Amino acid sequence: MRLGIGRSVKRDAVLVRVETDEGLIGWGESHHGRCPGAIARLIDTTLRELVIGMDACDVAGVWHRVYKMQLASHGMGAAAALALSGLDQALWDIRCQRTNWSLCELLGGGPKPIKAYAGGIALGWQDPETLVEEARALVNQGFRALKLRVGDTARRDIERVRAVRLALGDDIDLLVDANTGYTLDDVRRVMPAYEEMDIGWLEEPFPAWDAEAYASAARLGRVPLAAGENHYTRYEFGPLLKDGNVRFIQPDLSKTGGITEAMRIAAMASAVKLTVNPHTSATAINMATSIHYLCAVDNPGYFEADVTQLNPFRDYLAGQLPYALDAQGCVSPLPGAGIGLRPDEAFLAEHPLIEGPCYV
């Protein structure tokens, strides 16, 4: 599949396994950052040396130590934030194993339906006819919201989005994601058509650091902007929220600093009356964790359901799917302790690291 960041050639993920001296085992997922071997190496060396010997249930203390010794003193590096995210998830999993509580309950929430949209590596740059076929099939599965990949040319993007809107009608929510591929002139060209087609949000038209472009784009039309999957920790979300140009906040629990930091970001967004709509990473761990997270905050938005046609890390990693749609197009957290699933280590052994970028 092709989209704004390239042609997808493989799926990458970094899974983090933490074992305590009591024999409890926690699992988390770090985003690969297009270089999974480097992220794994950082976890196995630097982060490991920083946290071995600490109390595994002191998630705030572990988070602060990694922040102080790695992120704060050596810059807000993406690799360190990705690595910390998987470690933090694994420590929350250990807390859940110790208490035998589900993650959403331990975070202060409880099971409830969360509206979902069809996303992931899907609905990309293709002929309008085949895109409509893919979109219609997802609606037939029960989705009431879909995210289309844009960021090609303004003309082709409008052609694709319009074909889907005409085919599905006005009852389906349509979102679009440019994967940082737009210029301000592109936004100026597509915004009138996206307004006409009642698009719910325009996601990441620009790189995360380009605050001036976001401010200019927010004045070009009424389609709200979405961003956050490439913003790391509350220290980058703070200016994003203060600027007020992005109206849908999208932390990725495998990128932004894990569950601990994502809860802080949700509270910050809640204070300015915005929802959190977490970006989904590659495996069932991130997906199941994201649903529990949304059940634990007071400002849940959408869950991004990965509908990639081929993703064994979603389908076979734990012997069960991380989500299921109900009749209203919503998902609910898996029951049981933690996130409700455990990785199959034999499956992991069958899928070793493949070096190289996942998009070309």
pLDDT (tens digit per residue) in 283-342:
999 999 999 999 999 999 999 999 999 999 999 999 999 999 999 999 999 999 999 999
Could you tell me if 247 and 116 lie in one domain? Answer: yes
One-letter identity of residue 218: A
The length of the chain in residues reads 360
pLDDT band at 39 (very low <50, low <70, confident <90, very high): very high
Q: Which two tokens stand for residue 263?
A: 């809860």
Q: Is the pLDDT of residue 75 over 80?
A: no
* 39 found inside a domain: yes
CA dist 83 and 251 (Å) reads 15
Could you tell me if 279 and 311 lie in one domain? Answer: yes
3-state secondary structure of 166: helix
Domain at 251, CATH number = 3.20.20.120
* 133 found inside a domain: yes
pLDDT (tens digit per residue) in 81-125:
999 999 999 999 999 999 999 999 999 999 999 999 999 999 999
Rounded to the nearest angstrom, the gap between the alpha carbon of residue 230 and the centroid of all alpha carbons in its chain is: 9
pLDDT (tens digit per residue) in 93-105:
999 999 999 999 9
Could you tell me if 123 and 66 lie in one domain? Answer: no
Could you tell me if 140 and 197 lie in one domain? Answer: yes
Short-list 212, 200, 160, 205, CA closest to 186: 205
pLDDT band at 74 (very low <50, low <70, confident <90, very high): confident
Which of 100, 123, 142 marks a domain boundary? Answer: 100
Q: What average pLDDT does range 258-274 have in this prediction?
A: 98
Could you tell me if 112 and 213 lie in one domain? Answer: yes
Could you tell me if 120 and 95 lie in one domain? Answer: no
Indicate left, alpha or beta for 19 from its phi (over 0: left) and psi (-120 to 50: alpha): beta
Contact 179, 5 (CB under 8 A): yes
* 226 found inside a domain: yes
* 336 found inside a domain: yes
Q: What is the pLDDT of residue 264?
A: 98
Q: What is the pLDDT of residue 77?
A: 84
Could you tell me if 152 and 273 lie in one domain? Answer: yes
Could you tell me if 127 and 84 lie in one domain? Answer: no
Could you tell me if 18 and 142 lie in one domain? Answer: no
Domain that holds residue 86: 7-100
Indicate left, alpha or beta for 83 from its phi (over 0: left) and psi (-120 to 50: alpha): alpha
Could you tell me if 277 and 218 lie in one domain? Answer: yes
Indicate left, alpha or beta for 257 from its phi (over 0: left) and psi (-120 to 50: alpha): left
- CA-only gyration radius of the chain, Å: 20
3-state secondary structure of 355: coil
Helix-helix angle 284-296:78-99, to 10 degrees = 70
pLDDT (tens digit per residue) in 186-245:
999 999 999 999 999 999 999 999 999 999 999 999 999 999 999 999 999 999 999 999
Contact 118, 280 (CB under 8 A): no
Q: What average pLDDT does range 32-45 have in this prediction?
A: 95
Q: List residues bridging with 203 in a β-sheet.
A: 177, 226
Q: Is the pLDDT of residue 66 over 80?
A: yes
Rounded to the nearest angstrom, the gap between the alpha carbon of residue 196 and the centroid of all alpha carbons in its chain is: 28
CA dist 51 and 227 (Å) reads 31
Q: What average pLDDT does range 162-189 have in this prediction?
A: 98
Inter-residue long-range contacts of 139-143, CB under 8 Å, 24+ positions, other chains counted = 139/168, 139/172, 141/325, 142/325, 142/326, 142/327, 142/329, 143/116, 143/117, 143/118, 143/172, 143/305, 143/307, 143/325, 143/329
Could you tell me if 243 and 117 lie in one domain? Answer: yes
Residues 6+ apart with CB under 8 A from 269: 237, 241, 249, 275, 276, 299
* 287 found inside a domain: yes
Number of domains in the chain: 2
Cβ neighbours around 180 below 10 Å, total: 17
Average pLDDT, the chain: 97
Q: What is the pLDDT of residue 98?
A: 96
Q: Which two tokens stand for residue 217?
A: 């784009």
Which of 34, 65, 100 marks a domain boundary? Answer: 100
* 79 found inside a domain: yes
Q: What is the pLDDT of residue 147?
A: 98
* 357 found inside a domain: no
Contact 161, 15 (CB under 8 A): no
Which of 100, 123, 152 marks a domain boundary? Answer: 100
Q: What average pLDDT does range 6-31 have in this prediction?
A: 96
Q: Where are the alpha helices (DSSP H) in the chain?
A: 36-42, 48-51, 59-66, 78-99, 103-106, 128-141, 154-168, 184-196, 211-218, 233-243, 258-271, 284-296, 312-315, 345-349
Domain at 75, CATH number = 3.30.390.10
Could you tell me if 72 and 146 lie in one domain? Answer: no
* 1 found inside a domain: no
Q: What is the pLDDT of residue 156?
A: 98
